[in-house]
Amino acid sequence: MSVTTASLSEARLRRQRTRRRISSTKLMLSVLAYGIAVLFILPYLEMAVAALRPASQLLAPNLLPSSLDFHNFTSIWSTGFGGNLVTSLLIAGGATVLVLAVAIPAAFYSARHRFRGRGVFLVLVLATQMFQPASMLVGIQREFLNFNVGSSTLELILINAGFNLAFAVWILNAYFASIPVELEEAAMLDGCSRLSALGRITLPLAAPGIVTALIFTFIAAWNEFMVALTFTLGQSSGRQPLTVAVNNYIGQYSIDWGHLFAGALIATVPVIILFALIEGRVVGGLTAGSVK
């Protein structure tokens, strides 16, 4: 009896030690994670403080101003910033819709059919990621001048869609390949067509991969600067995307720091909201195809 009691006591002690080790590990990881988060948030906090500083205290050495001035956030809209916001939403949203419309059927077909040259096709798709818009900027601009599209917004939608299509096809191909084809076959046995099975069975299951392609395409198009600057050069400031509009506050001899920081903060809000809404699905999409 005493032996059994001693064994139970030792087992309890081992469990308690294990819990303590796990708790200490979790505590260290939590502290590390919060420390990294603070490092990433600090630049945005500094921009917010600078944007809220009165003009007379802009270069003051104190960390926090003696009073807050929201003039930069209210007056920036009179500079045409609202039109810049709408233009960026049109470009990023249009490029995202176009990418998904092309990438979903391309990725689904390449995942479900073992056609000749499939491996070469996927390698070529991935290889296009090595080319940056800046390296082909002159050729792209001359091509659109020859086509005479006439709308810089449409031109930027097509360019951003073209340069983000390869990543979307690669991500979605891996995700479609991880979904058992037997699910579609069972749906077709129940009377669904191939297209109906895709819409009712495969696409809902592939939602994390689709959301991943969506968020990465949207962010890439939202943050693009070099091509946008080239294609909107000389146009009215209201027709330029946010990345170009924020850069306009940097003059040759002076910088409008208040509007620069306020505009940069406003430009991050749509992306933060979008990512916060679909963050859980993005994690699932990034691990697509990792487990067979």
pLDDT in tens, 211-229: 888 888 999 999 988 888 8
Q: In this structure, are residues 69 and 61 in contact, taking their beta carbons and an 8 Å threshold?
A: no
Contact residues for 231 (Cβ-Cβ < 8 A; gap 6+): 141, 144, 152, 155, 156, 159
pTM assigned to the model? 0.78
pLDDT range class, residue 184, cuts 50, 70, 90: confident
Q: In this structure, are residues 140 and 231 in contact, taking their beta carbons and an 8 Å threshold?
A: no
- Output the pLDDT for position 125: 72
- Output the pLDDT for position 9: 61
Which SS3 state, helix, strand or coil, does residue 234 take?
A: coil
Query: What tokens were used for 169?
Result: 């096809």
- Output the pLDDT for position 227: 87
Mean pLDDT, rounded, for 96-110? 90
**What would the pLDDT profile of 44-64 be if each residue is shown by its tens digit?**
888 888 888 887 777 777 777
Q: What residues form DSSP beta bridges with 255? A: 250
**What would the pLDDT profile of 10-40 be if each residue is shown by its tens digit?**
656 566 555 555 567 777 888 888 888 888 8
Residue 168 — φ and ψ, nearest 5°? -65, -40
Average predicted confidence (pLDDT) for the chain? 79
100 versus 202: the higher-pLDDT residue is 100
CA 207 remoteness from chain centre = 16
> What gap in Å lies between CA 256 and CA 200, rounded to an integer?
52
> Which residue type is seen at 95?
A
Which SS3 state, helix, strand or coil, does residue 63 take?
A: coil
**What would the pLDDT profile of 133-176 be if each residue is shown by its tens digit?**
777 788 888 888 787 777 888 889 998 998 888 888 888 888 88
Q: What is the DSSP string of 17-38?
A: HHHHHHHHHHHHHHHHHHHHHH
pLDDT higher than threshold 90 for residue 96: yes
- Output the pLDDT for position 22: 57
291 versus 44: the higher-pLDDT residue is 44
- Output the pLDDT for position 289: 45
